[in-house]
Amino acid sequence: MRWCSALVFSALIAVSWSVEDLTFPPGFKFGAATSSYQIEGAWNSSDKSESVWDRFVHDEPTRIRNSDNGDIACDSYNQVERDIEMVADLGLDYYRFSIAWPRILPSGFPNYISKEGTDHYNRLIDGLLAKGVEPFITLFHWDLPQSLQDLGGWTNPLSADWFADYARVVFTLYGDRVKLWLTLNEPIVTCDLSYITGITAPGVVSPDVGTYLCNKNLMLAHAKAWRVYDEEFKPKYHGKVSIANHLLWFEPQTEADTEVAELALQHLAGRYCHPIYSKEGGWPASIEKLLDKLSLERGYARSTLPAFTQEEKEYVRGTYDFFAFNHYSGRQIRWAKEGETFSQWPLGDAEDLNGKIEFPEHWPPTASSIFYVYPEGIRKQLLWVKQQYGDLEFVITENGLDTLGGRDDHDRISYFREYLKQILLAIREDGINVTHYTAWSLMDLFEWMDGYHSKFGLYEVDFTDPKRTRTPRLSAHWYKKVIKAHSLDVTVNDEL
Ligand code: BGC
């Protein structure tokens, strides 16, 4: 393990950190993203059923900052035309959005397909295509039908079949026009963040067991959906499918901390990538070993990380058409000292790994307490993945900065610019095949536990206005110019 990070370092020392030619390779594509629960609102319109997020925010409103919820959000369900107008005005190559499972299949199962739900996404897809913007669909961005949660949700081993059945319906409805697909968005949030802390829906806390059951079932769910597409749809539609993982870069504080940084990367990224992208499949060996030890120490009869059978390993391995990931930030990690206390993983320390997390002073904080700005991290992350899993096509499915608002968002522009420069360096100097970059987010939206407090949008949304008026920020003007010029060599001044 140690040699991988050592390689990352030697490669980075060898290259220059300046980038002079700010032009993107021909064919490089720019997009922006949102997700259903965060923007649609219309939580109970027509025959849509309740999702775990509807239940979570209604049951105990104080779970969310200012007791906000997604009941109306950006009202995008009723403002499809306006959203398309914004996307077209930016000149995006593609728009990444997600489908609300309970809007298409109110029972969670394909016994009944909602006409209203189906029509909604048809309007969006057709409207985008009419403007020359490619739709890029995520099948699941966390809003599981509550009816399925009542059956155990992602801890039920049958959840992989439920997801594949849902995926088949969506591929059937839209596959003729949609060529880019993601099965799951950030399964680490669905499993680790939810089951360890309970601060996201469904609010069930089961850190030792639930987290890992969910992890394995989601790997199988992704693979099943990918295989449904590959076998039943790809021959006629020729699209591509992958999974969007959240990758957080772990920087060792000193060389002596390389091993714990590598363990953290395997724990966070490897557990969700290794089963799919590695040659041998299954869990990363270091994580299996760690969980064996921890489970026995905690008195369990066996590892709480459920084993993959050989057949399952082969079933999941290779189920990708590109490598997609969301990236926002990094962490600095070091081995804990004797007797040190820990705060909670995964947002705090890495107690299970005996690792302490710190943030160097030169990594500026953002509006949320969990993200710090470290642009070099994205390049190191790309290199690490390439070294782990080979020379893949990389699609960056989210990257962005949250602020407390304001239209004159030079901080967001500088965040985008610095991260995009690092991506250019990765392409040029490290020979990494990055083909797509997705800004998060098209507009301000419901930021989960943070409600409407922190803002990620290229467009500002006025949440006090019943019309949810959208206004471009300076960053929207800047991004539009970047897309048009296909280069970072652009300026913005008085566009507001
Ligand atoms: C999620 C988004 C979220 C963003 C910013 C990602 O983890 O996919 O839904 O809004 O991060 O927190």
38 or 13: whose pLDDT is higher? 38
**pLDDT band at 349; cut points 50, 70, 90:** confident
Q: Read off the pLDDT of each residue in 353-372 and give the average, rounded to a whole number.
A: 88
Rounded to the nearest angstrom, the distance between the alpha carbon of 225 and the centre of ligand 1 is 22
Q: List helix spans (H) across 193-281.
A: 210-228, 234-237, 258-265, 271-277
Residue indicated by tokens 């720019």: 30
Q: Read off the pLDDT of each residue in 430-441 and give the average, rounded to a whole number.
A: 98
Catalytic residue check, 186: yes
Ligand 1 in reach of 398 Cβ (< 6 A): yes
Q: Which of 34, 39, 440, 461 for a ligand 1 pocket mutation test, highest count of atoms within 8 Å of Cβ?
A: 440
**pLDDT band at 174; cut points 50, 70, 90:** very high
Q: Read off the pLDDT of each residue in 9-37 and give the average, rounded to a whole number.
A: 76
Burial (CB < 10 A; 0-12, 13-18, 19+), residue 265, is: buried
CATH class in words for 6-485: alpha beta
φ, ψ of residue 396 to 5 degrees: the values are -85, 115
φ, ψ of residue 460 to 5 degrees: the values are -80, 140
Active-site entry in 251, 398, 447, 460: 398
Does the global pTM surpass 0.75? Answer: yes
Residues 6+ apart with CB under 8 A from 440: 32, 33, 326, 328, 398, 399, 400, 456
Partners of 135 in the β-ladder:
95
Ligand 1 in reach of 440 Cβ (< 6 A): yes
Residue 54, pLDDT above cutoff 50? yes
Ligand 1 in reach of 326 Cβ (< 6 A): yes
**pLDDT band at 11; cut points 50, 70, 90:** very low
Both tokens assigned to 496? 């507001």
Ligand 1 in reach of 450 Cβ (< 6 A): no
| Closest residue CA from atom 3 of ligand 1 | 447
CA 123-96-132 angle, 5° bins = 60
Rounded to the nearest angstrom, the distance between the alpha carbon of 97 and the centre of ligand 1 is 12
Rounded to the nearest angstrom, the distance between the alpha carbon of 446 and the centre of ligand 1 is 10
Catalytic residue check, 398: yes
